[in-house]
Structure 1
Amino acid sequence: MTRTHAYDVAVRAEAALGEGPTWDVGAQRLIWIDILGSRVFTYDPVSGRRTVMTTEQHVGAAKPRTGGGLVVNLRDGVGLYGPVSGPDSGPDADSGSGSGGEGFRWLHHEAVPGRRANDAAVAPDGALWTGTMRYDEAPGGGSLSRIAPDGTAEVVLDDVTVSNGTGWSPDGRLMYYIDTPTRRIDVFDFDGQRITNRRQLAVVDEGDGFPDGLTVDAEGCVWVALWDGGAVRRYTPSGVLDRVVELPVPRVTACAFGGAGLTDLYITTARTGLEAPHPLAGSLLVVPGAGKGLPHPPFAG
């Protein structure tokens, strides 16, 4: 197993709950969010240009759409924005106020008191798989749903506590998934729309943190961010831990490959709940040349 401490700071920020990095292939930029700050950020690593958009509710995920704009997993459901109109935030992104996107509308509205959106991912067929959780993290209070491009919703898992990382193998035949308190990274068989045969790929031992967001690389390995673990781990398709990226912040939330060649690993972090946050807690970090990622498909709606 290889351990490394190599990382750079892509965007120095103080996000309360930075999450959901996604490389927008069409725009060649990274999208990431602050869930509790109700903000969606973009970052162009070539020009350094950054934008910020404020949403009306806590936002669990933001993904690019085929026709432009964003699909967002909000507290009360899934919505659509037109092209992001947030201003160039410059070097002090976290101190500026953002603006909303254009032409917002609900695609699937389902308000449940005490529940909010969390992580989401776009499947190979362009559907959005959305997770939820209760604010009090009550066991079984969350779910994982499949949202079709026309807004049709189907609950796939209904006994979830904190729905988090979701991703697919390079051939699209497997889906990986994390319900954080279980400490497990699970794998399902995937037929293009349905999941079956749930089993454990790996488990994070007590004391090593909790598995949070994940991404899958071109070799089929699963990279997992560790909340309260200060690291990102890579597991082989057989579940063997073969690489650890150690980071200076305890609350590492999610990761995704980006950059022109999809070789740089972007990592989001959080400050919430920390009595004495590290100066980089809440920032967007990057490990250049960490591996080779897979392109994230845009939402087809």
Structure 2
Amino acid sequence: MTAVEVAVPAHAALGEGPTWDTRAGRLIWVDILGSRVHTYDPASGRRTVMTTEQHVGAAKLRAGGGLVVNLRDGVGLYGPPTGAGGVTAAGAESATGAEGTAGAAEPGGAFRWLHREPVPGRRANDAAVAPDGSLWCGTMRYDEAPGGGTLTRIAPDGTVRPILDDVAVSNGTGWSPDGRRVYYVDSPTRRIDVFDLDDDQLPVDRRPFATVEDGFPDGLTVDAEGGVWVALWDGGAVRRYTPEGALDRVLDLPVRRPTACAFGGADLTDLYITTARTGLTAPHPMSGSLLVVPGVGKGLPQPAFAG
């Protein structure tokens, strides 16, 4: 069994989307069905929790401060924060130690929609920021119906460009270190696919990169060597694939439903893993917590949304 540690003990229904904030030295992650955005500073142990008004598929950094969030009805912007008094309409709280202890509002800031497109029965899912500062955001139907989800690119100026319009569960997205390829997961296909990027940074030539038989590929991250790490929903593991698509490493986990992974820590060598409890009749005690495997690899700094 991999030496897994609990970074943040929690009971998230559907933890997702870990992102390391290099400037602040903290991790940002969400509980989709709990409508919460969490932060965690491993150096101080400080934690914050912000509640959103809708299910939140992802929360990513903005270059000028604040967050861009993939919500049920579209993509919105928070902040930049205005300080402890700048509580959003959604509300916020902070915690050190026990979850839920009231404190300063962080992250905060006013909310506004960047792109609103509500579709009955559909919600946001995973999202990622491309090297050019655009946001690639996914959706899915609550019933996971095939063809009910999308993948959309939102440029920093708010221009919307559909990428895929016929996916089931849009999930992990990540770019190769040279920015010339993008990896993508539509979970029910049990594949990680790869695209080349054209001169306009749009994907072309979609093809299978790796196929998963035990569980379903979920969120992913790409390391400094170009290796692709993917969390396996119902697979109880995180796998690393070489840039050529060969299985290179398996991190076995005590939880059945890891959802996503990202490198963090001062030197980007610690792998943080979000997990879920939803749908489990007898979840492991760690299910829903934020996990970490220290010193397991070397990640890349994640770009911030330029809008």
What TM-score range do you get, normalising by the shorter chain? over 0.9
Q: Offset of 1:101 from its aligned partner?
A: 2.8
Q: Offset of 1:87 from its aligned partner?
A: 3.1
| Aligned residue identity for 1:247 | L
Residue in structure 2 matched with residue 168 of structure 1 by the alignment: 175
CA–CA separation in structure 2 for the residues paired with 1:75 and 1:98: 26
Q: Offset of 1:142 from its aligned partner?
A: 0.2
- What secondary structure sits across from 1:181 in the alignment? helix
Structure 1 outlier segments of 4+, above 4 Å: 94-100
**TM-score with structure 2 length normalisation?**
0.94
Residue in structure 2 matched with residue 9 of structure 1 by the alignment: 6
Q: Offset of 1:123 from its aligned partner?
A: 0.1
Structure 2 spans left out of the alignment, 5+ residues: 82-86
Aligned: 1:48 with 2:45: yes
CA–CA separation in structure 2 for the residues paired with 1:295 and 1:140: 33
Q: Given the alignment, which residue of 216, 221, 224 partners 1:215? A: 221
Residue in structure 1 matched with residue 79 of structure 2 by the alignment: 82
CA–CA separation in structure 1 for the residues paired with 2:292 and 2:151: 28
**Matches for 1:176-195 after TM superposition, within 5 Å:** 176-191=183-198, 193-195=201-203
**Matches for 1:67-216 after TM superposition, within 5 Å:** 67-83=64-80, 86-93=92-99, 101-191=108-198, 193-205=201-213, 208-216=214-222
Q: Offset of 1:5 from its aligned partner?
A: 1.2
| Aligned residue identity for 1:282 | G
Q: Confirm or deny: 8 A CA contact 2:93 2:102 kept in the other structure.
A: no
| Aligned residue identity for 1:220 | G
Q: Offset of 1:71 from its aligned partner?
A: 0.2
Q: Confirm or deny: 8 A CA contact 2:11 2:289 kept in the other structure.
A: yes
Q: Confirm or deny: 8 A CA contact 2:61 2:68 kept in the other structure.
A: yes
Q: Offset of 1:198 from its aligned partner?
A: 0.6
**TM-score with structure 1 length normalisation?**
0.95
Q: Confirm or deny: 8 A CA contact 2:254 2:284 kept in the other structure.
A: yes
Q: Offset of 1:244 from its aligned partner?
A: 0.5
Structure 1 spans left out of the alignment, 5+ residues: none
- What secondary structure sits across from 1:41 in the alignment? strand
- The total of aligned residue pairs comes to 296
Percent identical: 76
String of CA shifts for 1:182-210, please: whole Å, max 9, x gaps.
Answer: 000000001352000111111001xx100
String of CA shifts for 1:238-295, please: whole Å, max 9, x gaps.
Answer: 1110100001000010000001100000000000000001100000000000100011
Q: Offset of 1:26 from its aligned partner?
A: 1.5
Q: Confirm or deny: 8 A CA contact 1:53 1:98 kept in the other structure.
A: no
Aligned: 1:243 with 2:249: yes
Distance change >3 Å, CA 218–CA 249, structure 1 → 2: same
Q: Given the alignment, which residue of 265, 274, 288 partners 2:294? A: 288
CA–CA separation in structure 2 for the residues paired with 1:139 and 1:282: 27
Distance change >3 Å, CA 141–CA 252, structure 1 → 2: same
- What secondary structure sits across from 2:262 in the alignment? strand
CA–CA separation in structure 1 for the residues paired with 2:291 and 2:104: 22
CA–CA separation in structure 2 for the residues paired with 1:69 and 1:94: 22
| Aligned residue identity for 2:209 | L
CA–CA separation in structure 2 for the residues paired with 1:129 and 1:95: 33
Aligned: 1:300 with 2:306: yes
